Structure 1
Amino acid sequence: MTTSYAHEHHLATLAVHRAALLTTRVLAATNKGTTTKSDASPVTIADFGSQALLIHALYTHFPNDTFVGEESSSTLRADPALLEAIWTLVSTTHHSDDILGSIPSREEMLRVINLGGSGEGGAHRARMDVRSY
Protein backbone atom coordinates (compact mmCIF):
# COMPACT_ATOMS: atom_id res chain seq x y z
CA MET A 1 0.00 0.00 0.00
CA THR A 2 1.44 3.36 -1.04
CA THR A 3 0.67 6.41 1.05
CA SER A 4 0.61 9.83 -0.56
CA TYR A 5 1.99 12.68 1.46
CA ALA A 6 0.78 15.37 -0.95
CA HIS A 7 -1.17 17.23 1.76
CA GLU A 8 1.77 17.17 4.18
CA HIS A 9 4.14 18.27 1.42
CA HIS A 10 1.84 21.15 0.47
CA LEU A 11 1.59 22.42 4.06
CA ALA A 12 5.32 22.07 4.65
CA THR A 13 6.07 23.97 1.44
CA LEU A 14 3.74 26.80 2.49
CA ALA A 15 5.33 26.90 5.95
CA VAL A 16 8.85 27.11 4.52
CA HIS A 17 7.73 29.81 2.09
CA ARG A 18 6.28 31.89 4.92
CA ALA A 19 9.48 31.48 6.96
CA ALA A 20 11.47 32.54 3.88
CA LEU A 21 9.33 35.68 3.62
CA LEU A 22 10.24 36.51 7.22
CA THR A 23 13.97 35.88 6.78
CA THR A 24 13.98 37.95 3.58
CA ARG A 25 12.46 40.86 5.51
CA VAL A 26 15.19 40.53 8.15
CA LEU A 27 17.94 40.40 5.52
CA ALA A 28 16.60 43.62 3.98
CA ALA A 29 16.59 45.40 7.35
CA THR A 30 19.47 47.51 8.58
CA ASN A 31 19.28 45.99 12.05
CA LYS A 32 19.37 42.20 11.80
CA GLY A 33 18.49 41.83 15.49
CA THR A 34 21.49 39.68 16.39
CA THR A 35 22.01 38.71 20.00
CA THR A 36 24.13 36.15 21.83
CA LYS A 37 22.67 33.13 23.60
CA SER A 38 23.91 31.85 26.97
CA ASP A 39 26.24 29.40 25.17
CA ALA A 40 27.86 32.41 23.38
CA SER A 41 26.45 31.43 19.98
CA PRO A 42 24.76 34.11 17.86
CA VAL A 43 21.05 34.13 17.14
CA THR A 44 18.98 36.54 15.06
CA ILE A 45 15.36 37.56 15.09
CA ALA A 46 15.06 35.56 11.87
CA ASP A 47 16.10 32.40 13.75
CA PHE A 48 13.42 32.84 16.41
CA GLY A 49 10.76 34.03 13.98
CA SER A 50 11.24 31.30 11.40
CA GLN A 51 11.23 28.60 14.09
CA ALA A 52 7.97 30.00 15.48
CA LEU A 53 6.30 30.15 12.06
CA LEU A 54 7.42 26.71 10.96
CA ILE A 55 6.50 24.88 14.13
CA HIS A 56 3.18 26.68 14.52
CA ALA A 57 2.10 25.90 10.96
CA LEU A 58 2.98 22.23 11.27
CA TYR A 59 1.75 21.80 14.84
CA THR A 60 -1.61 23.30 13.90
CA HIS A 61 -2.14 20.58 11.32
CA PHE A 62 -0.19 17.75 12.95
CA PRO A 63 -0.51 18.18 16.73
CA ASN A 64 0.74 14.66 17.50
CA ASP A 65 4.07 15.22 15.74
CA THR A 66 7.24 16.24 17.54
CA PHE A 67 9.63 18.93 16.38
CA VAL A 68 13.33 19.65 16.60
CA GLY A 69 14.37 23.28 16.89
CA GLU A 70 17.44 25.13 18.03
CA GLU A 71 15.93 28.10 19.84
CA SER A 72 14.32 28.47 23.26
CA SER A 73 11.91 31.12 24.46
CA SER A 74 14.01 31.82 27.58
CA THR A 75 16.10 34.45 25.77
CA LEU A 76 12.94 36.22 24.62
CA ARG A 77 11.30 36.08 28.04
CA ALA A 78 14.37 37.81 29.47
CA ASP A 79 14.47 40.54 26.79
CA PRO A 80 11.13 42.33 26.21
CA ALA A 81 12.52 44.46 23.37
CA LEU A 82 13.75 41.39 21.49
CA LEU A 83 10.44 39.64 22.14
CA GLU A 84 8.55 42.60 20.71
CA ALA A 85 10.77 42.77 17.61
CA ILE A 86 10.20 39.09 16.88
CA TRP A 87 6.47 39.30 17.62
CA THR A 88 6.16 42.21 15.18
CA LEU A 89 7.84 40.17 12.44
CA VAL A 90 5.91 36.97 13.16
CA SER A 91 2.51 38.64 13.48
CA THR A 92 2.93 40.58 10.25
CA THR A 93 4.39 37.86 8.03
CA HIS A 94 1.59 36.20 6.12
CA HIS A 95 1.29 33.94 3.13
CA SER A 96 -1.39 34.40 0.51
CA ASP A 97 -2.70 30.95 1.42
CA ASP A 98 -4.20 31.35 4.89
CA ILE A 99 -4.64 27.63 5.66
CA LEU A 100 -1.55 27.77 7.87
CA GLY A 101 -3.26 29.96 10.42
CA SER A 102 -1.60 32.71 12.39
CA ILE A 103 -0.05 32.77 15.84
CA PRO A 104 -2.64 34.51 18.03
CA SER A 105 -0.41 35.92 20.80
CA ARG A 106 3.10 36.49 22.06
CA GLU A 107 2.61 33.76 24.67
CA GLU A 108 1.58 31.25 22.00
CA MET A 109 4.61 32.22 19.94
CA LEU A 110 6.86 31.50 22.94
CA ARG A 111 5.11 28.18 23.53
CA VAL A 112 5.54 26.95 19.95
CA ILE A 113 9.18 27.99 19.91
CA ASN A 114 9.67 25.65 22.88
CA LEU A 115 7.90 22.81 21.08
CA GLY A 116 11.18 22.54 19.16
CA GLY A 117 12.86 21.15 22.27
CA SER A 118 13.33 24.30 24.36
CA GLY A 119 16.66 25.02 22.73
CA GLU A 120 17.98 21.47 23.15
CA GLY A 121 17.37 20.52 19.52
CA GLY A 122 18.19 16.92 18.68
CA ALA A 123 19.18 16.12 22.29
CA HIS A 124 15.56 16.73 23.29
CA ARG A 125 14.26 14.58 20.45
CA ALA A 126 16.59 11.70 21.37
CA ARG A 127 15.16 11.59 24.91
CA MET A 128 11.53 11.57 23.82
CA ASP A 129 9.44 8.45 23.52
CA VAL A 130 8.93 8.66 19.76
CA ARG A 131 7.03 6.08 17.76
CA SER A 132 8.86 4.38 14.91
CA TYR A 133 7.80 4.88 11.33
Structure 2
Amino acid sequence: MSNNISSADWLEQVRWSCDGLVTAVAQDVHSQRVLMVAWMNRESLQLTVNEGRAVYWSRSRGKLWRKGEESGHVQQLHELRLDCDGDVLILMVEQLGGIACHTGRQSCFYRVLRDGQWHSVDPVIKDPKQIYEHNSHE
Protein backbone atom coordinates (compact mmCIF):
# COMPACT_ATOMS: atom_id res chain seq x y z
CA MET A 1 0.00 0.00 0.00
CA SER A 2 2.37 2.66 -1.14
CA ASN A 3 0.41 5.80 -1.96
CA ASN A 4 2.28 9.02 -2.22
CA ILE A 5 -0.46 11.03 -0.57
CA SER A 6 0.42 14.66 -0.03
CA SER A 7 -3.00 16.02 0.94
CA ALA A 8 -3.14 16.59 4.69
CA ASP A 9 -6.96 16.48 4.89
CA TRP A 10 -6.98 12.89 6.10
CA LEU A 11 -4.41 13.75 8.78
CA GLU A 12 -6.78 16.39 10.17
CA GLN A 13 -9.34 13.68 10.96
CA VAL A 14 -6.97 12.01 13.43
CA ARG A 15 -7.47 13.06 17.07
CA TRP A 16 -3.92 13.68 18.22
CA SER A 17 -3.09 13.62 21.93
CA CYS A 18 -1.83 16.74 23.68
CA ASP A 19 1.67 15.38 22.91
CA GLY A 20 0.81 15.19 19.21
CA LEU A 21 0.65 11.39 19.21
CA VAL A 22 -1.88 8.70 18.35
CA THR A 23 -1.94 5.05 19.42
CA ALA A 24 -1.06 2.67 16.58
CA VAL A 25 -1.91 -1.03 16.73
CA ALA A 26 -0.04 -3.28 14.29
CA GLN A 27 -2.09 -6.30 13.27
CA ASP A 28 -1.02 -9.16 10.99
CA VAL A 29 -2.95 -8.98 7.72
CA HIS A 30 -2.98 -12.78 7.36
CA SER A 31 -3.57 -14.16 10.86
CA GLN A 32 -5.35 -11.05 12.24
CA ARG A 33 -3.17 -11.35 15.38
CA VAL A 34 -2.24 -8.14 17.18
CA LEU A 35 1.53 -7.85 16.90
CA MET A 36 2.33 -4.72 18.85
CA VAL A 37 1.20 -1.27 19.97
CA ALA A 38 3.27 1.84 19.35
CA TRP A 39 2.91 5.59 18.87
CA MET A 40 2.79 7.74 15.77
CA ASN A 41 3.03 11.47 15.21
CA ARG A 42 1.91 13.31 12.06
CA GLU A 43 5.24 12.86 10.34
CA SER A 44 5.51 9.13 11.06
CA LEU A 45 1.94 8.54 9.89
CA GLN A 46 2.56 10.48 6.66
CA LEU A 47 5.80 8.55 6.08
CA THR A 48 4.05 5.24 6.76
CA VAL A 49 1.53 5.97 4.04
CA ASN A 50 4.11 7.34 1.61
CA GLU A 51 6.64 4.52 2.12
CA GLY A 52 4.16 1.65 2.52
CA ARG A 53 5.90 0.45 5.67
CA ALA A 54 5.42 1.15 9.38
CA VAL A 55 7.20 4.21 10.72
CA TYR A 56 6.57 4.99 14.39
CA TRP A 57 7.54 7.68 16.88
CA SER A 58 9.81 6.40 19.63
CA ARG A 59 8.97 8.23 22.85
CA SER A 60 12.03 6.83 24.64
CA ARG A 61 14.44 7.89 21.88
CA GLY A 62 12.52 11.01 20.86
CA LYS A 63 12.81 10.26 17.15
CA LEU A 64 11.24 8.50 14.19
CA TRP A 65 11.63 4.74 14.14
CA ARG A 66 11.23 2.67 11.00
CA LYS A 67 10.16 -0.76 12.18
CA GLY A 68 12.88 -3.16 11.14
CA GLU A 69 15.64 -0.57 10.74
CA GLU A 70 17.82 -2.55 13.18
CA SER A 71 16.23 -6.01 13.13
CA GLY A 72 15.35 -6.27 9.46
CA HIS A 73 11.80 -7.27 10.46
CA VAL A 74 9.90 -4.67 8.47
CA GLN A 75 6.15 -4.17 8.68
CA GLN A 76 4.80 -3.76 5.15
CA LEU A 77 1.56 -1.76 5.21
CA HIS A 78 -1.50 -3.28 3.54
CA GLU A 79 -4.27 -1.17 5.05
CA LEU A 80 -4.70 1.67 7.51
CA ARG A 81 -7.83 2.03 9.67
CA LEU A 82 -8.98 4.80 12.01
CA ASP A 83 -11.40 4.04 14.87
CA CYS A 84 -14.75 5.78 15.38
CA ASP A 85 -13.31 8.30 17.87
CA GLY A 86 -10.39 9.07 15.58
CA ASP A 87 -7.80 8.39 18.29
CA VAL A 88 -6.53 4.89 17.49
CA LEU A 89 -5.05 3.54 14.26
CA ILE A 90 -4.83 -0.05 13.13
CA LEU A 91 -2.08 -0.85 10.69
CA MET A 92 -2.81 -4.06 8.82
CA VAL A 93 0.71 -5.24 8.05
CA GLU A 94 2.69 -8.11 6.71
CA GLN A 95 5.40 -8.77 9.29
CA LEU A 96 8.45 -9.60 7.19
CA GLY A 97 10.69 -12.05 9.02
CA GLY A 98 7.81 -13.10 11.31
CA ILE A 99 9.12 -11.29 14.40
CA ALA A 100 7.43 -8.14 15.69
CA CYS A 101 8.60 -8.14 19.32
CA HIS A 102 12.04 -7.11 20.54
CA THR A 103 12.00 -10.29 22.69
CA GLY A 104 12.28 -12.37 19.50
CA ARG A 105 8.63 -13.44 19.47
CA GLN A 106 5.98 -13.13 16.78
CA SER A 107 3.90 -10.75 18.92
CA CYS A 108 4.47 -8.50 21.91
CA PHE A 109 1.34 -10.07 23.42
CA TYR A 110 2.84 -13.39 24.48
CA ARG A 111 1.83 -13.46 28.15
CA VAL A 112 -1.48 -14.88 29.41
CA LEU A 113 -2.94 -14.42 32.90
CA ARG A 114 -3.64 -17.78 34.53
CA ASP A 115 -4.28 -18.39 38.21
CA GLY A 116 -3.16 -14.88 39.12
CA GLN A 117 0.19 -15.09 37.30
CA TRP A 118 1.48 -14.10 33.89
CA HIS A 119 2.67 -17.04 31.80
CA SER A 120 4.69 -16.81 28.59
CA VAL A 121 2.83 -18.90 26.03
CA ASP A 122 4.62 -18.04 22.78
CA PRO A 123 8.10 -19.29 21.98
CA VAL A 124 11.10 -17.13 21.22
CA ILE A 125 11.57 -17.51 17.47
CA LYS A 126 15.04 -15.98 17.45
CA ASP A 127 17.33 -14.87 20.27
CA PRO A 128 17.22 -11.06 20.44
CA LYS A 129 21.03 -10.99 20.73
CA GLN A 130 21.16 -12.47 17.23
CA ILE A 131 18.59 -9.99 15.90
CA TYR A 132 20.04 -6.72 17.13
CA GLU A 133 23.56 -5.51 16.66
CA HIS A 134 23.09 -2.93 19.43
CA ASN A 135 21.54 -3.37 22.88
CA SER A 136 18.65 -0.99 22.12
CA HIS A 137 15.32 -2.57 21.26
CA GLU A 138 12.58 -1.50 18.93
TM over 0.5: no
**Higher RCO (CA-CA < 8 Å; seq separation 6+):** 1
TM-score interval, normalised by the smaller of the two chains: under 0.3
Q: TM-score, normalised by structure 2?
A: 0.25
Structure number with the higher helix fraction is 1
